[in-house]
Amino acid sequence: MIKEVYKKNKGWDKKHGKMAVLICDYCGKEFKRAYGCINRKDETRRYSKNYCSVKCKTMATRKKIQKFCNYCGIEIYITPFNLKSHKNHFCSRECFLKWNYGSNAGNYKGGKITIKCAFCNKKINVDRYRQKMYKNKFCNKECFYDWTKENMPKGENSYNWTGGKSKYPSGYIRINNTGIYEHRFIMEKYLGRKLYSWEEVHHINGIKDDNRIENLKLLPGNEHNKKVQKVYQEIQKLKEENQRLLKLVNQY
Per-residue pLDDT in tens (0 to 9) along the chain, 252 residues: 555 555 544 444 554 566 778 888 888 888 877 766 665 554 344 446 778 888 787 777 777 788 899 999 998 888 777 788 888 889 899 999 888 887 787 767 777 888 888 889 899 888 777 777 777 888 889 998 998 888 888 777 777 777 778 888 888 888 877 788 898 899 999 999 988 887 888 888 888 889 999 989 887 776 666 666 677 678 778 888 888 888 888 887
How many other C-beta atoms are found inside a 10 Å radius of the C-beta of residue 138? Answer: 19
CB 182 within 8 A of CB 201: no
CB 204 within 8 A of CB 228: no
What pLDDT score was predicted for residue 42? 45
CB 39 within 8 A of CB 20: no
Q: Report residue 44: phi and psi, to 5°.
A: -75, -25
Distances (CA, A) of 144 to 133, 136, 139, 158: 16, 9, 8, 17
How many other C-beta atoms are found inside a 10 Å radius of the C-beta of residue 74? Answer: 12
Spell out the domain ranges in the chain. 2-61, 65-101, 112-154, 165-228
CA distance 24 to 238: 98
CB 183 within 8 A of CB 205: no
How deeply is 173 buried, as exposed, middle or buried, from its count of CB atoms within 10 A (0-12, 13-18, 19+)?
A: middle
| Bridge partners (DSSP) listed for residue 17 | 13
- The length of the chain, given as a count of residues: 252
pTM as predicted: 0.35
* Interval 4-34: pLDDT, tens: 555 544 444 554 566 778 888 888 888 877 7
| DSSP per residue, the chain | -EEEE--TTTSEETTTEEEEEEE-TTT--EEEEEGGG-----TTSS-----SSHHHHHHHHS--EEEE-TTT--EEEE-HHHHHH-SS--SSHHHHHHHSSGGGSTT--S-EEEEE-TTT--EEEEEGGGTTT-S---SSHHHHHHHHHHHS--GGGSTT--TTEEE-TTS-EEETTT--BHHHHHHHHHHTSPPPTTEEEEETTS-TT---GGGEEEEEHHHHHHHHHHHHHHHHHHHHHHHHHHHHHHH-
